[in-house]
Amino acid sequence: MERSYVIKPELGKAYPKISHGKGIYLYDQDGKEYIDGCGGAVTASIGHGVQEIADAMVEQARQVSFAYRSHFSSDAVEQLGAKLAEWAPGSLNWTFFVSSGSEATETAQKIAIQYWQEKGYERKNRIISRWMSYHGITMGALSMSGHVMRRKRFTSLLADYPAISAPYVYRKPDELSIEEYAHKRADELEVAIRRIGKENIAAFIAEPVIGASGGALVAPAGYFERIREICDRNEILFIADEVMTGMGRTGKPFGINHWNVVPDLMALGKGMSAGYTPMAAAMATDEIIETITKGSGLIMAGHTYSANPQSAATSLAVVRYMEENNLVEKAAVHGEYLLAQLKQIVADYEMVGDARGLGMLTGLEFVKNKETKESFAASVGVGTRVLQRAFAKGLIIYPAMSGADGLVSDSIIVAPPLTITRDEIDRLLGILRAAIEEVQAELKA
Ligand code: PLP
């Protein structure tokens, strides 16, 4: 084996080398074909190897790839900003560009804090987040993340922002209606605000559909409307983390569009450039940006690569491609089919307890006992076993495991490119079924 000098996720493990990709397929250097059933990390939403994007990248590279944002703006970045303002709800018209989802949530956090400072509230600088959540890996973003496993080694360095539980409809107490449950969970925010003091809180952050720590957990109807009302009443900003749910993934432009709510800030990433370049953003309302403009006039955030023309042109080509190919609408239609098929998997396999999701962001949860919904011990790692079997058979899916709230949610995410056809969904599910079958037999043996 050739010597490697690269630090990889699992040290000592041999990874196949990627050769190329086309549509929903990836090919390694040994010629093995994989269905990219999760767009890598819910990222490759227009599929691989799209010629139009390659052309746009080359065209921009010929003109200029990098010009620093403190010196120049560019057509690409202005047009992308205008496009995002068209897509975003309400007066979320302003975009600050960064390069990763973690930078996006952290920038949204900083803009929220700065907004209150510009208004003269020096102490309003704390964020409230939920225990079942993932907002990124850098220290500020990890401080907001309730993902217990990812926090563990750094706890002493992190702010204790996670303060409330997220709704988990699959495990809702039977005696509560969906509406009562949605309100009960949302009202935890009110209790946390009273405990911490609204004079100390800048914003509340949440994923409209919980990804990496929940396996496509969808908030119940009424939840975010109640959250919005609590935030308004207590003068706290609401940040929607749309890094995974944004840009059409859930069958609407943004995940939060499924509720009758407009956030004050949004964090975007992943599908924004569909993996063709590192690109992410924080979006803010007119009110926030006008306040900062009238105040100091300087946003205290930004990175070297923020708003670089190369990434902006690439992302712009991706968003245009999505529009020209009606991919948001397709995600809604194919997502319904995908979820119906996943529900059939729940019916067919003893160890699959729940199928859920919105649009092309779907998940399966594995349980030891379907009736009691008892989870497997974390050490069993059923999702990981299914994922490994699927990978060996040429299907890539995404892990989602969390130990929040004393529970182990052992789940996987199925989130293929939005360009996938119905036949391709069937092919994907055939491999997934075979992997689940093998793991179920293994656990029984
Ligand atoms: N927010 C959410 C909801 C995510 O799912 C992720 C990544 O999985 C992030 C933030 C962090 O994004 P990145 O990995 O690009 O830093």
233's tokens: 């009443």
66's tokens: 């990098």
Would you say the CB of residue 100 lies under 6 angstroms from ligand 1?
A: yes
Would you say the CB of residue 284 lies under 6 angstroms from ligand 1?
A: no
* Strand, coil or helix: 201: strand
Flag whether the pTM goes above 0.80.
Answer: yes
Amino acid residing at 228 = R
Per-residue pLDDT of the chain (445 residues; tens, 9 = 90+): 688 999 999 998 999 999 999 999 999 999 999 999 999 999 999 999 999 999 999 999 999 999 999 999 999 999 999 999 999 999 999 999 999 999 999 999 999 999 999 999 999 999 999 999 999 999 999 999 998 888 989 999 999 999 999 999 999 999 999 999 999 999 999 999 999 999 999 999 999 999 998 999 999 999 999 999 999 999 999 999 999 999 999 999 999 999 999 999 999 999 999 999 999 999 999 999 999 999 999 998 999 999 999 999 999 999 999 999 999 999 999 999 999 999 999 999 999 999 999 999 999 999 999 999 998 888 888 999 999 999 999 999 998 987 655 566 899 999 999 999 999 999 999 999 999 999 999 999 8
Planar angle of CA 52, 58, 61, nearest 5 degrees: 140
CA 136 to ligand 1 centroid distance, Å? 5
Which residue has the CA at smallest separation from atom 10 of ligand 1?
A: 135
CA 141 to ligand 1 centroid distance, Å? 9
**CATH T-level topology, domain 18-49+326-444:** Aspartate Aminotransferase, domain 1 (3.90.1150)
CA 121 to ligand 1 centroid distance, Å? 29
Same fold, 18-49+326-444 and 54-324: no
Instruction: Say which residues have a Cβ less than 8 Å from residue 175's Cβ, sequence separation at least 6.
Output: none
* Strand, coil or helix: 127: strand
Cα dihedral 434, 435, 439, 445 in deg (nearest 10): 40
Would you say the CB of residue 101 lies under 6 angstroms from ligand 1?
A: yes
51's tokens: 């010629």
Q: How far is CA 100 from the centre of its chain?
A: 11
Angstrom distance (rounded) from CA 267 to CA 99: 11
Would you say the CB of residue 246 lies under 6 angstroms from ligand 1?
A: no
**CATH T-level topology, domain 54-324:** Aspartate Aminotransferase; domain 2 (3.40.640)
Angstrom distance (rounded) from CA 247 to CA 368: 35
Would you say the CB of residue 242 lies under 6 angstroms from ligand 1?
A: no
ipTM of the predicted structure?
Answer: 0.99
Residue ranges per structural domain of the chain: 18-49+326-444, 54-324
Question: Would residue 156 be called left, alpha or beta, if left means φ above 0 and alpha means ψ between -120 and 50 degrees?
Answer: alpha
Which residue has the CA at smallest separation from atom 13 of ligand 1?
A: 101
Angstrom distance (rounded) from CA 318 to CA 249: 13
